[in-house]
A and B are shown apart, each in its own frame.
Chain A
């Protein structure tokens, strides 16, 4: 009976987390990948996999963010040589924003992840380095390089 109750409690918690976190996670995955379909699939997969370890997770939002980020990166590693379009697509209708988004999409996966996590998720570089499992110096270097590239391309 206890087991049943635990499972019910877990299901309710996951349902609540799904309702609460899904939109944020899909948006994060979209910014990291540039693909809505991939973003949706990644988040769905992460939630499907989280059942078994749910009660061992101390900080579900942080765990889910890390899981989504890593899964997007796994996908990108297998596709890193796909040529990136130089075209500026209309996404928001605001020319300035669309142009910047096009340039962000041209960044390599590592630099892009750092930019998104730092400027969108508002994480410090130390937090970004922990999340990505990379040295702080490397993350800092990635960000520096990404900003340099963006600035030059926008000029």
Chain B
């Protein structure tokens, strides 16, 4: 029992809820024994042969992420490739079926379409207006170098991504994602789906795929990687899809998206992302908004941990983006506790003036009393340590 349990009603309700929901996992399905048998999955030990397949599928699922919405943080990329992507508006034919024993292409497409319809129905059920995609729909199917197949279903109001890992056999395990019905502004883009097979814990190079819709006036979309490698595609059809190769052990947590509009202007999504990471005054004025924002940023701090790990693994350096992010998280957290703080000219400045610099003349990160900000402080301190080490290395 902790003092946090003092809200007995909430604690009791949580316990009852978790117990009741756990019990909905039918106990009759959860018996079984680890004896090899030929019974289908559903609680029975699946036997050695089937077990191997299950492990492969799980590993595939773990290494594959589909994400809707904004993405974050760049990663080092060895090279870019767009040749596997069909031209916008086109429909490609999978070449996997001829080479690997997987479910027929028609069956896979059918499964994705069913999921597409189900997602639309769920949205409608949830009361989301215009849940049914409308307008002309493009179905585009293409094969990743890994063999995974991706089907994009694009309408004027939505982009639905469905990927089918190529693991052999007839098991279909699509990663499907909800529809994003927010249309981009006329000169804007949306990032609707991000998928990657690289990142911490993986053993080989992977691919990163980004897809979304483009508003009227957007001519091309470009993903710019930290080493300045760029992969760009035409977006005049109203959508884009970019696939790039990435090295092992590097996660993709932020896309740097540039897009060009018909007037020749270049737009930069990264600038938008950074702007959004600090609660603004309007948010501060809305009850609960700052807390939500801080919760979101702290959730993303886990990503920062990954970035830091990736940076250390790479060459002991921390990038500006990592520094920007952990700093923004820290500042947001302190603000949520009532501390008036901002970051300016490499210093954290409170109402009492700049926090004292450390003995080496580096950026000070001494935290005001705010235990709930321990975690972001730790990230800031560690990022600062890396920056400081890098600075000394450069000076030497």
Contact = CB atoms under 8 A, between A and B. Distances in A.
B145 interface: no
A80 B177 CA distance: 12
A135 B292 CA distance: 22
Interface in A24-76: 26-28, 30-31, 36, 38-42, 44-45, 47-49, 71, 74-75
Nearest to B375: A138
Interface residues of B, number: 72
Interface string A123-146: 011000000000101101101110
Interface string B363-396: 0000000011011001000000000000000000
B58 A145 contact: no
B4 interface: yes
A83 B372 CA distance: 26
Contact of B54 (A22, A39, A41, A148): A41
Say whether chain A's binding surface is mostly helix, strand, loop, or mixed.
helix
A135 B371 CA distance: 11
Contact of B25 (A14, A27, A71): A27
B7 interface: yes
Q: Secondary structure at chain B's binding surface: helix, strand, loop or mixed? A: helix
B61 A86 contact: no
B178 A85 contact: yes
A23 B17 contact: no
Contacts of A74: 62, 201
Contact of A150 (B10, B33, B45, B201): B10
Given A41-B58, A92-B21, A141 B71 contact: no
B62 A78 contact: yes
A60 B337 CA distance: 41
Nearest to B41: A40
A96 B288 CA distance: 23
A29 B324 CA distance: 34
Contacts of A96: 13
A7 interface: no
Interface in B243-300: 288, 291-292, 295-296, 298-299
A65 B122 CA distance: 32
Given A15-B33, A92-B24, A141-B371, A82 B7 contact: no
Interface string A82-106: 1101110001101011001100100
Given A42-B58, A45-B58, A149-B295, A19 B22 contact: no
B126 interface: yes
Nearest to B52: A48
B49 interface: no
A126 B97 CA distance: 51
B100 interface: no
A141 B374 contact: yes
Nearest to B1: A124
A81 interface: yes
A19 B22 CA distance: 18
A86 B291 contact: no
A31 to B, nearest CB: 6
B280 to A, nearest CB: 20
A145 B178 contact: no
A47 B2 CA distance: 33
Interface string B184-216: 000000000010100101000000000000000
Interface in A1-20: 11, 14-15, 18-19
Contacts of B62: 71, 74-75, 78
B149 to A, nearest CB: 19
Nearest to B12: A119
Counting from the closest, the 6 A-B pairs by CB-CB distance are: A78-B65, A87-B126, A23-B30, A108-B299, A27-B22, A120-B18
Given A108-B296, A147-B7, 17 more contacts: A14-B34, A15-B33, A19-B33, A23-B25, A71-B62, A74-B62, A74-B201, A75-B62, A77-B302, A80-B299, A83-B180, A87-B122, A92-B24, A94-B20, A140-B4, A141-B371, A152-B291
20 contacts: A19-B32, A22-B32, A30-B25, A41-B54, A44-B51, A44-B54, A44-B55, A47-B34, A77-B303, A81-B71, A82-B66, A85-B126, A104-B17, A108-B299, A138-B374, A141-B371, A141-B374, A145-B295, A147-B10, A151-B10
Interface of A: 11, 14-15, 18-19, 22-23, 26-28, 30-31, 36, 38-42, 44-45, 47-49, 71, 74-75, 77-83, 85-87, 91-92, 94, 96-97, 100-101, 104, 108-111, 115-116, 119-120, 124-125, 135, 137-138, 140-141, 143-145, 147-152, 154
